């Protein structure tokens, strides 16, 4: 397919047809039937951000409670619920889904395609995530929240020590969010491998997309483990299996192994997209190609592999055999190497580029500072004697907040500011952006740095209060004061975005002069993304484009047709038609709720839900008449690829 033609650039008619082909449907049912990736991606982002606010309120409640010794603001029970809700919300309902949301929104744009590979599945993933989260919060408001921490260790979470429905709710929320994670992973892998625009060979895939690919593979191999682990937990609690019951031959450590086989990669699933944001932002703000692209991609892959071999470092205090522990220490320390390479590549990029300062890069610098501290305490914790000393103390709480907030939240906030103009078409206020950055950086360190010291002084995590004689009071006051600054930072950011969305300066297509394909589109992008599938001739698609960079013609505008290219070199291979909007993903997620929520109360609901889901699936796959007609015509060869008259192609050699 290297035919080239000359074409008059008069696209208004095509654009109108495309608009109609890809448009959303009106009304509530239309909203529930939506399958466009930008819509679904934004829904993920907004929903996850709301859960972040909920988790933040829970954090604030904890900080109020810990303000002074012997405080009675929250009782022990409430405190247990709150820290469990906070941890579970932040990990499962905020950090992972928001990264997925960015992937769903950005990956098809960066690849130059119209939608993700399986649009209905994509919508289903969103609803199942939403329902999982709403279920957890509904039960929380009904005073049936889980209380066994974000990892619900057995035997504490088992039938004997956690009566009630809290842990069952937690386990079901896990199933829901992991199904959603898996769905997005499959989407992104297939979309990236098959739908890249012509010219985007593997070595021209933007680093953010690579990070999402690596994350997706990690999800595919990690999330089943936690689904099985939490599934066993439900079975032990609901139907009387003994998988974790030592007295009947089960084993609580089995749970820990399976949980952390997922749990460590989970942390990478959270921060590797952050690394992708950092690369995107740095490329734009230094105006140069990222230094060491190949090294960046390969270290991402290496990190992913190593990430699967270190889970036992979460279990050093369980008395595993010495040799095994040493192995896991060594593996954990090795992770420093690929991360170090990445950081040096970024530094080299900054060093040799023309560095500009604006809110997104400031967050990137914040990421460097905070994440490196988290990495350093991580290296400390990988050595077993230190781990034993500070295990289950605030030192660990400090460590993982440095890693999570440094590695995920800072890049994420940077990404919010970076892509805000693309989503809304307007610029945020730079002054407010910088204020919110400084509030976060200062507030964060004031909150969490003292926790290192508190941990060394012996303050255990997950305690609702402490005695005055422990002398932990001052540092806790400091920590709580810092949290106020963090809250102000988030508030500033929200106000900034809400105001700028309407009143900001008009951004134009590419306010940052950034390099990836989405910046070649108007802001916000049209429903169909690209009128013509673009082609690229370099890693930095926008910068490397020739003035007459070819685009693809010969595709239908009146059908949701996408171009499938080959995996390695992205040469055009064939076209496929994507399904349109459909209410069935929503219906299927409802029937799954019936089955899985019902099963908590009465096992037969599971069967009822399964049957209903089977019916929903038939509806899902039933082809519409129009689809059928099209297929029949095409089989008979009566329907060509073209609807609109195209001028005769003028053949030329592709350079």
Partner 1 sequence: MTQRVLDVAALTEGTADSRSLIWWGNLAMLAIEGTMFAMAMATYLYLRSTNLDWPPSTVPKPDLLMPTINTVMLLLSCIPAFIIDRASITKNMLPIRICQALSIAVGLLFLYIQYAVMVPSLGYKWSSHAYGSVVWVIIGMHTLHMVAATGETALLFLYSLFKPVLKKHLLDFRCTAVYWYFVALVWVPFYFIIFIEPWMQRKGS
Q: Closest separation between CB of residue 151 and ligand HEM, Å? A: 7
**Which residue, 275 or 350, has its beta carbon nearer to ligand HEM?**
275
Among positions 23, 32, 78, 190, the unique one binding partner 1 when judged by CB under 8 A: 190
Instruction: Tell me whether the omega of the peptide bond preceding residue 421 falls within 30 degrees of 0, making it cis.
Output: no
Q: Are 614 and 527 in contact (CB under 8 A)?
A: no
If binding is defined by CB under 8 A, does position 114 make contact with partner 1? no
Choice from 86, 204, 264, 288 touching Cu ion (CB under 5 A): 264
DSSP 8-state class, residue 67: T
Task: Specify the stretch interacting with partner 1 by CB under 8 A; choose among 114-122, 323-331, 333-341, 503-511.
Answer: 114-122
CB of 325 to ligand HEM, least distance (A): 23
Cα-based torsion angle of the residue sequence 157, 159, 161, 162 in order, rounded to the nearest 10 degrees: 60
Q: Which does 264 bind (CB under 5 to 8 A by kind): Cu ion, partner 1, ligand HEM, none?
A: Cu ion
> Which of these segments, 57-65, 189-197, 324-332, 363-371, binds partner 1 (CB under 8 A)?
189-197
Provide the minimum distance between the beta carbon of 597 and partner 1 in the complex, in angstroms, as a whole number. Answer: 19
Looking at beta carbons only, is 90 or 281 nearer to ligand HEM? 90
Cβ at position 91, least distance to ligand HEM in Å:
5
- Which of partner 1, ligand HEM, Cu ion, none has residue 133 at its interface (CB below 5 to 8 Å by kind)? none
Contact 282, 364 (CB under 8 A): yes
Binding mask 520-549 for partner 1 (x = CB under 8 A): ------------x--x-----------xxx
Residues 10-69 that bind partner 1 (CB under 8 A): none
Does position 337 interact with partner 1 (CB under 8 A)? The reply is no
Part of the chain binding partner 1 (CB under 8 A), chosen from 153-161, 233-241, 349-357, 586-594: 233-241
Question: Choosing among Cu ion, partner 1, ligand HEM, none, which partner's interface includes residue 405 (Cβ < 5 to 8 Å by kind)?
Answer: ligand HEM
Helix (H) or strand (E) holding 127: helix 119-141
**Does residue number 354 form part of the binding site for partner 1 (CB under 8 A)?**
no
Q: How far apart are CA 265 and CA 215, in angstroms?
A: 9
Which of 233, 300, 361, 405 lies at the binding interface for ligand HEM (CB under 6 A)? 405
Is the CB of 220 or the CB of 488 nearer to partner 1? 220
Instruction: Select the span of 337-345, 404-412, 418-426, 606-614 touching ligand HEM (CB under 6 A).
Output: 404-412
**461 near ligand HEM, judged by CB under 6 A:** yes
Name the one range near partner 1 by CB under 8 A: 131-139, 224-232, 472-480, 597-605.
Answer: 224-232
- Beta carbon of residue 638, minimum distance to partner 1 (angstroms, whole number): 12
| Residues 396/454/90/52 CA torsion (nearest 10 deg) | -150
* Closer residue to ligand HEM, CB minimum distance, 87 or 414: 87
Q: Any long-range contacts for 238-242 (C-beta under 8 Å, 24+ apart)? A: 238/168, 238/599, 238/600, 238/603, 239/603
Residue 590 in tokens: 């409802």
Instruction: List the x/- string, 224-263, binding to Cu ion by CB under 5 A.
Output: ----------------------------------------
* Residue 409 binds to ligand HEM (criterion: CB under 6 A): yes
Q: Which of 334, 380, 573, 590 binds partner 1 (CB under 8 A)?
A: 573
Contact partner at residue 575 from partner 1, Cu ion, ligand HEM, none, CB < 5 to 8 Å by partner kind: partner 1
Return the axis-axis angle of helices 359-382 and 410-424, rounded to nearest 10°: 150
State which of residues 186, 212, 404, 440 lies at the interface with partner 1 (CB under 8 A): 186
C-alpha–C-alpha distance, residues 294 and 314, integer Å: 31
Helices assigned H by DSSP within 249-335? 252-286, 293-307, 322-334
Bond preceding residue 524 cis, omega within 30 of 0? yes
Q: Within a 13 Å sphere around the CA of 609, how many CA atoms are in the beta-carbon half?
A: 18
- What does the alpha-carbon distance between residue 29 and residue 25 come to, in Å, rounded to a whole number? 8
Contact 505, 427 (CB under 8 A): yes
Distance CA(451)–CA(476), nearest Å, equals 8
Q: Judged by CB, which is closer to ligand HEM: 25, or 461?
A: 461
Q: Choose among partner 1, ligand HEM, Cu ion, none what residue 447 binds, the Cβ cut-off being 5 to 8 Å by kind.
A: ligand HEM
Q: What gap in Å lies between CA 380 and CA 426, rounded to an integer? A: 44
Whole-number Å distance between alpha carbons of 145 and 384? 34
3-state secondary structure of 164: coil
Cis omega (within 30 of 0) for bond into 337: no
Binding site partner of 475, from ligand HEM, partner 1, Cu ion, none, Cβ cut-off 5-8 A by kind:
none
Report yes or no: 309 and 331 within 8 Å, Cβ to Cβ.
Answer: yes
* CB-CB contact of 296 with 370 (8 Å): no
Residue 636 CB: number of other CB atoms within 10 A?
Answer: 8
Rounded CA separation 89/52 (Å)? 7
**Alpha carbon distance 386, 122 (integer Å):** 44
- Measure the CA–CA gap between 473 and 69, rounded to whole angstroms: 6
- Give every CB contact of residue 359 below 8 A, 6+ residues apart in sequence: 414, 417, 428, 430, 433, 434, 436, 437
Residue nearest to ligand HEM (CB): 87
Q: How far is the CB of 382 from Cu ion (least distance, A)?
A: 9
Residues between 61 and 100 with contacts to ligand HEM, criterion CB under 6 A: 62-63, 83-84, 86-87, 90-91, 95
Q: What is the contact surface with Cu ion in residues (CB under 5 A)? A: 264
Q: What is the contact surface with ligand HEM in residues (CB under 6 A)? A: 56, 59, 62-63, 83-84, 86-87, 90-91, 95, 149-150, 397, 401, 404-405, 408-409, 447, 461-462, 483, 486
């Amino acid at each position: 397919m290297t035919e080239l033609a000359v074409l008059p650039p008069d696209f208004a008619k095509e654009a109108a047809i495309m608009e109609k082909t890809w448009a959303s449907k009106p009304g509530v049912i239309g909203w529930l039937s939506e399958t466009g990736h930008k819509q679904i991606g934004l829904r993920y982002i907004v929903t996850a951000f709301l859960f972040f606010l909920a988790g933040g309120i829970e954090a604030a409640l904890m900080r109020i409670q810990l303000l002074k010794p012997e405080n009675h603001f929250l009782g022990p029970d409430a405190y247990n619920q709150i820290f469990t809700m906070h941890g579970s919300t932040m990990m499962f309902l905020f950090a992972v889904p928001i990264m997925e949301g960015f992937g769903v929104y950005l990956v098809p744009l960066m690849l130059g395609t119209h939608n993700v590979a399986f649009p209905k599945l994509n919508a289903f993933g969103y609803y199942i995530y939403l329902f999982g989260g709403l279920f957890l919060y509904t039960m929380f408001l009904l005073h049936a929240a889980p209380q066994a921490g974000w990892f619900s260790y057995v035997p504490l979470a088992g039938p004997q020590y956690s009566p009630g429905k809290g842990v069952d709710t937690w386990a079901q929320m896990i199933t829901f969010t992991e199904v959603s994670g898996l769905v997005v992973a499959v989407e992104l892998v297939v979309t990236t491998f098959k739908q890249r625009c012509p010219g985007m060979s593997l070595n021209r895939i933007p680093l953010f997309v690579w990070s999402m690919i690596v994350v997706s593979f990690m999800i595919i191999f990690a999330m089943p483990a936690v689904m099985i682990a939490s599934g066993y937990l439900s079975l032990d609690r609901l139907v009387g299996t003994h998988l974790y019951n030592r007295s009947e031959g089960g084993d609580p450590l089995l749970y820990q192994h399976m949980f952390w086989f997922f749990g460590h990669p989970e942390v990478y699933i959270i921060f590797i997209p952050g690394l992708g944001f950092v690369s995107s932002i740095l490329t734009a703000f230094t105006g140069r190609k990222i230094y060491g692209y190949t090294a960046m991609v390969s270290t991402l892959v290496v990190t992913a592999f190593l990430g699967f071999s270190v889970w036992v470092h979460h279990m050093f205090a369980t008395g595993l055999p010495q040799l095994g522990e040493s192995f896991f220490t060594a593996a954990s320390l090795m992770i420093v190497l690929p991360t170090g390479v990445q950081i040096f590549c970024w530094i080299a990029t900054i060093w040799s580029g023309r560095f500009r300062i604006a809110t997104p890069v400031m967050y990137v610098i914040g990421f460097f500072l905070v994440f490196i501290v988290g990495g350093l305490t991580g290296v400390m914790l990988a050595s077993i004697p230190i781990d034993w000393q500070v295990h289950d103390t605030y030192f660990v709480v400090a460590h993982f907040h440095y890693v999570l907030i440094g590695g995920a939240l800072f890049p994420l906030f940077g990404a919010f500011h970076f892509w805000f103009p693309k989503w809304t078409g307007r610029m945020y206020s730079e002054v407010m952006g910088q204020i919110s950055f400084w509030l976060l950086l200062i507030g964060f360190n004031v909150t969490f740095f003292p926790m290192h010291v508190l941990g060394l002084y012996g303050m255990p995590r997950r305690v609702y209060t402490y005695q005055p004689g422990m002398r932990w009071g001052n540092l806790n006051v400091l920590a709580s004061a810092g949290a106020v600054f963090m809250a102000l930072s988030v508030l500033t950011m929200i106000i900034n975005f809400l105001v700028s969305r309407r009143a900001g300066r008009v951004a134009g297509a590419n306010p940052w002069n950034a390099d990836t394909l989405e910046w070649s589109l108007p802001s916000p992008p049209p429903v169909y993304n690209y009128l013509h599938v673009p082609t690229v001739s370099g890693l930095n698609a926008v910068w490397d484009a020739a003035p007459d960079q070819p685009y693809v013609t010969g595709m239908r505008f009146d059908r949701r047709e996408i171009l499938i290219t080959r995996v390695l070199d992205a040469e055009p291979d064939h076209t496929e038609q994507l399904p349109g909007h459909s209410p069935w993903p929503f219906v299927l997620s409802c029937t799954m709720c019936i089955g899985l929520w019902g099963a908590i109360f009465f096992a037969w609901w599971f069967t009822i839900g399964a049957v209903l889901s089977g019916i929903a699936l038939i509806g899902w796959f039933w082809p519409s008449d129009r689809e059928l007609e099209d297929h029949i015509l095409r089989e008979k060869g009566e329907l060509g690829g073209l609807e609109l008259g195209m001028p005769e192609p003028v053949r030329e050699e592709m350079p």
